[in-house]
Structure 1
Amino acid sequence: MDVHNAFLHGDLEEEVYMKLPHPFRHSHPDKVFRLRKSLYGLKQAPRCWFNNDSYMLQKFKHYLGKCSSMKDLGKLKYFLGIEVSRGSEENFLSQRKYALDIVADSGNLGSRPADTPLEQNHDLDDDDGPLLTNPTPYFVHVLSQFMQELREAHWEAALRVVKFLKGSPRQGILLCADSDLSLTVYCDSNWSSCPITRRSLSAFVVLFGGSPIAWKTKKQKIVSHSSAEAEYRAMSMTLREI
């Protein structure tokens, strides 16, 4: 349920003060507001909401259903393309349906799955084959650098990504209740990976309690003159993320 004013009626137990709005600040520079009710942006706001007992929550949901078309959909199962599978000690997040929809839209339901999303030593940068007649369905990260002059080889590489999705639609993120909540970070670089600009790639993944919560791969802005320099740039990007 999405209740826009759900956070506006909780009583605050702590003393929380707010600066006066701009028009009143000049005439009363030594005064502030003390908040009696919770507001969006306060860390106390969701606490106030969850402090209600289950009976009052059900009564409130029933009241909302009578006043408007809002209704209780029960426990979260699917939201914004993400499927949620619940267990007694863990939750599993995946995009199985979303991935299969991409495979179906591209007409690759009957194709053989690919083991990797992209060939390891591809030569897409040097390809001078025929241009792609319909670039509308084209997409995806590394391949997006060819958007200005799409060729059929680039489209074949994009379809390989789709075939990789077909073989791994149930890949997801496992969130365990008994994790130790430690922060683990891995970073790496691929020196001089771009054959045209000779720029390197930086990559990292952040695990919290064993579950990935952030990850990124990005081409470095300047050319690194050694693999060690590329590694340091990757570590610098990762430390900023942490």
Structure 2
Amino acid sequence: MKDLGKLKYFLGIEVLRSQKGIFINQKKYTLDLFTETGMLDCKPANTPIVVNHGLQIREGTESADRGKYQCLVGKLIYLSYTIPDIAYAVSMVSQFMYQPQTDHLEAALRIVRYLKGTFDYGLLFQKTAKLEIQAYIDADWVGNPKDRRSTVGYLHSRLRESCLMEK
């Protein structure tokens, strides 16, 4: 094994250290995603998903390219590790991986447009003097029109770290 020094960049995640703590983001990974999708000059969206989106599989709707859709959603899943505010929207579009339709692709591309305005966001793990646990949760109760199941997302931090969205 070689000592390569302090971690700065690993698997698309940038690690920045300061007196406040450790900040991680995926800015370069996100910029590469804009280039791959041809959305480098797109207009940012205010939210990652439309309120009351009603995404579902509809009969007679045009199908999207499944391979490209799966690749895009997979990249969005990876981005949600450091940008947790897209987690709910990504979980919604990932439900249609096996049979994507054009409205599902449009919803996934809206997430990319949202990232245009937030690509420099990340997670700050702050240094603190006391032991604390923080948790954040969001839920869509009985939001699935087909089986009336709920969708829940959560983020938590333990020990001496607290997770905060930081720009």
Q: Shorter-normalised TM-score: what interval?
A: 0.7 to 0.9
User: Does the CA contact (< 8 Å) of 1:179 and 1:210 recur in 2?
Assistant: no
- 2:25 aligned partner, one-letter code: S
User: Does the CA contact (< 8 Å) of 1:175 and 1:211 recur in 2?
Assistant: yes
- Alignment of 1:182 with 2:113, yes or no, is no
Deviation at 1:210, TM superposition (A): 5.4
- Alignment of 1:76 with 2:26, yes or no, is no
Match of 1:239 in 2: none
Deviation at 1:179, TM superposition (A): 4.5
Q: Distance in 2 between matches of 1:153 and 1:91?
A: 38
Q: Percent identity?
A: 39
Match of 1:96 in 2: 27
* Aligned partner of residue 145 in structure 1, secondary structure: helix
Match of 2:63 in 1: 131
Deviation at 1:158, TM superposition (A): 0.9
- 1:192 aligned partner, one-letter code: V
* Aligned partner of residue 185 in structure 1, secondary structure: strand
Q: Distance in 1 between matches of 2:15 and 2:161?
A: 18
- 2:4 aligned partner, one-letter code: L
Match of 2:45 in 1: 114
TM-score by length of structure 2 reads 0.74
Aligned residues: 143
User: Does the CA contact (< 8 Å) of 2:134 and 2:163 recur in 1?
Assistant: no
Higher relative contact order, chain-length normalized (CA < 8 Å, sep 6+): 2
The one of 92, 98, 102 aligned to 1:152:
102
Unaligned runs of 5+ in 1: 4-69, 214-242
- Alignment of 1:193 with 2:143, yes or no, is yes
Quick check: 107-116 or 187-196, which moved more?
187-196
Cα pair distance change 1:177/1:145, threshold 3 Å: closer
Deviation at 1:188, TM superposition (A): 4.6
Cα pair distance change 1:165/1:203, threshold 3 Å: same
Q: Report which of the two structures shows the higher radius of gyration computed on alpha carbons.
A: 1
* Aligned partner of residue 52 in structure 2, secondary structure: coil
Cα pair distance change 1:189/1:176, threshold 3 Å: closer
TM-score by length of structure 1 reads 0.53
